[in-house]
Amino acid sequence: MDADPRTGQRRWTDRHFLFNTYQDAHLGYAVTDHAAQGRTVHTGLAVIAGTENRQHAYVALTRGTDVNAAYVFTQSPKTADPVPGPRPAPELARYDRRATGHDNQPASAANTPGEALTVLAGVLGRDRQLLSATQARNQALADVDHLAILQAVWAAETTPARDQRYHDLLMNTLPPGYRRPPGHQARWLWRTLRAAELADLDPAGVLADAIAERDLAGSRDIAAVLDARLWHRLGSLVPLLPRPWSEQVPALADPERRPYVAEIAALMDARKDRIGEHAADHSLPLATAALGPVPGHPLDRLEWQKQAAAIGAWRELSGYDHPADPIGPEPEPEPEPITSAERDGLALIPDQQSGAIEQWITDLAAGHRTFGGRLADWQSQAIPSQDPDYGDLGPAFPAWTGSGREPILRPSKPEIPPSPQILQRAMDRDADWEAAD
């Protein structure tokens, strides 16, 4: 047990944990899976809390020569409680049991073995194998030009220039009497203009139309007023297929930074092309599930490769990493908001609209519960028995998709091969270090 909080002395439990042949046992102490590697014992008792991985379970469940048992926690002590609000006081439940005469009832039964198998299945399905030094180096070289990394550099270099272009466009389009510096709300106007530009609309034209729609007299924040007008006029815009990054290099004020941004754009385009080539060479499930098998004709294969490159680029930019699902489920459409006329009708004719009111309240409560559930999922790490992704696995272990036991003992190789330019730079740097030594 934990040390006494007052004295700091060691405390022992008043319960005895015995098994059939405890007379022949020797005293032992619990060790971690790292300390247990290489050991061989007669009986191995592994404690699985549900947050471990396949490698931990492999070591913990293979130490015993005769017996290997797993004690599985069906509710991990490290998992946050997803139930919102404070918990009820235990004294109230104890009072209710005494008041109803059921104070001596035994505690509820423990979780069923099926849930324990589900937790263990989740542990075995979680791979955290460490890479060797060579594999770690190759993985690092393959991730040097990862689109998520380059996109952060690209955004940091190009966003200020694009916002300044929109600022100058606004100042030149406004009437002379309204050309005052915009406030902090202008960033929303820049985003709306960017959305219009991605939908192949002229930002100067849509901005001029919004300014000419009505007089701006009395507007406290002109940028916010124009942004509201654009949203009302344009609605939800659908962007076109993105152009190559090399065609989107803006005109920067610093001429020395333009070659740097152009090089970043070239790296991003090359990375996207390599993603498509890799998907075509290995017939990745994430691409074949959306595009079908790789065509044999060179022209058809090239078109298939371009579409696979677009899918792979979106996955890297968004962080979606499902091995078989290309882009995930389609977003659910938002419910149409109730209009003022409908709200007035519900208030004026309560008898005829009672059913509609009840349905509206029911939908509102359901939406609140859905939002609360999603928020709880994000704030807590669900155990596999509560994870919807494990719904089709059943109470036993998940279906094995690899060949033999190789996924346990050998980590996977990097998905995308490193760029030849990056490999050459790494070789030149290693050669310089060897020459310096």
Kindly indicate the confidence band of residue 310, based on its pLDDT and cuts at 50, 70 and 90: very high
DSSP-based three-state secondary structure for 347:
helix
Kindly indicate the confidence band of residue 382, based on its pLDDT and cuts at 50, 70 and 90: very low
20-35 tens-digit pLDDT: 666 666 666 677 777 8
Domain ranges of the chain: 1-83+110-128+362-399, 148-247
Question: Rounded mean pLDDT of 369-373?
Answer: 68
Structure tokens at 410: 């050998």
209-252 tens-digit pLDDT: 999 988 888 888 899 999 999 988 888 888 888 899 999 998 88
CA distance 62 to 405: 14
Residue 269 has pLDDT above 90, yes or no: yes
**Positive or negative, the Cα torsion across 159, 160, 161, 164?**
positive
Q: 120: closest CA among 72, 86, 158?
A: 72
Phi, psi of 94 (to 5 degrees): -65, -40
Please check whether residue 33 is in contact with residue 58, taking contact to mean a CB–CB distance below 8 angstroms: no
199-211 tens-digit pLDDT: 989 999 999 999 9
Kindly indicate the confidence band of residue 309, based on its pLDDT and cuts at 50, 70 and 90: very high
Beta strands in 137-197 (DSSP E): none
Residue 108 has pLDDT above 50, yes or no: no
Q: What is the pLDDT of residue 95?
A: 62
69-84 tens-digit pLDDT: 888 888 755 555 555 5
Q: What is the pLDDT of residue 31?
A: 79
Entry pTM: 0.56
Residue 306 amino acid letter = K
Structure tokens at 14: 């008043």
Kindly indicate the confidence band of residue 377, based on its pLDDT and cuts at 50, 70 and 90: low
Residue 333 has pLDDT above 90, yes or no: no
Residue 136 amino acid letter = A
Residue 406 has pLDDT above 50, yes or no: no
Rounded to the nearest integer, the mean pLDDT of the chain is 76
Kindly indicate the confidence band of residue 154, based on its pLDDT and cuts at 50, 70 and 90: very high
Kindly indicate the confidence band of residue 413, based on its pLDDT and cuts at 50, 70 and 90: very low
228-237, 318-327, 337-346: which is most confident: 228-237
13 burial via Cβ count (<10 Å: 0-12, 13-18, 19+): exposed
